[in-house]
Amino acid sequence: MTQATKTHLIHDRNARGRTQIGWLDSSHSFSFGGFYDPNRLGFRSLRVINDDRVAPGAGFPTHGHRDMEILTYVLEGALEHKDSLGTGSVIRPGEAQIMSAGTGIMHSEFNYSQSEPVHLLQIWILPDKKNLKPRYEQKAFSSEERTGQLRLIAAHDARDGAVKVYQDVDLYTSILQPGDKINYHAQPHRYTWLHVAKGIVNLNGEELRAGDGVEISGETQLEMTTNVGGEILLFDLG
């Protein structure tokens, strides 16, 4: 279950919601679909982190969204995207894809491979305003940029080559090799969410495993280390 420490709250991977159907195995960090937990309604503007594994050739048929910033981050495999803006693309590891649903958008997402599963994170963030014009953006970030250091991949001001997100949030990602140490200084008036996507990572000496999430308020010095390797997403939230 969720456990508290002095300045952060760990959302245990084993307490996530779960959707399992023939072609989809999805774990929900926050309340989603048929999973409801009053302690997991989101954090600041962050509303959804779904950890999805999709069978070869399968996927989400065309469906609609509105007034949501939807980020897709592929961990393994490749995901094919099509939408009502006429966008067609394939998303691979190291690429950040964002879709502003705004006034309304239809899209589909399918495993691009007919033989290998795809593993991805789908992230929903509330926008800072409603009725935005729908848009799509996708950028690639090399493994060198993301290894052993934090790489900004999404930001409100789109600085440093990040994709733009219509909300006061900076999203960083990093691949940690055994022995790596990453330090992050959070501003005292802001909030942080750490999601462990792969492996085992220690946050200020506390062990976290793939699927664990940590909501952080008031803790400004964050040190992330690993003995075995891992991959993380770090959200700096207003």
Please give the pLDDT value at position 218: 87
The model carries a pTM of 0.95
Tokens for 16? 């996530």
Terminal-to-terminal C-alpha distance of the chain: 27
Q: For residue 132, what is the DSSP state?
A: P
Distances (CA, A) of 146 to 156, 230, 235: 20, 12, 15
Q: Given this model, what pLDDT does residue 3 score? A: 43
Give me the phi and psi of 187, to 5 degrees please: -70, 140
Cβ neighbour number for residue 192 with a 10 Å cutoff: 23
Alpha carbons 120 and 231: distance in angstroms, whole number:
13
Say if CB 55 and CB 105 are below 8 A apart: no
- Backbone region of residue 146 per phi and psi (left: phi > 0; alpha: psi in -120 to 50; beta: other values): alpha
Dist. CA 150–CA 156, nearest whole Å: 17
**What 3-state DSSP class applies to 185?**
strand
What residues of the chain score a pLDDT lower than 70?
Answer: 1-6
Query: CB–CB of 160/111 below 8 Å?
Result: no
The CA distance from 237 to 170, in Å, is 7
H helices of the chain, where? Answer: 143-146
Tell me how far apart the alpha carbons of residues 124 and 122 are, in angstroms, rounded to a whole number: 7
What is the model's pLDDT at position 4?
39
Residue 215, both tokens: 């909501």
Handedness of CA 31, 37, 43, 49 (dihedral sign): negative
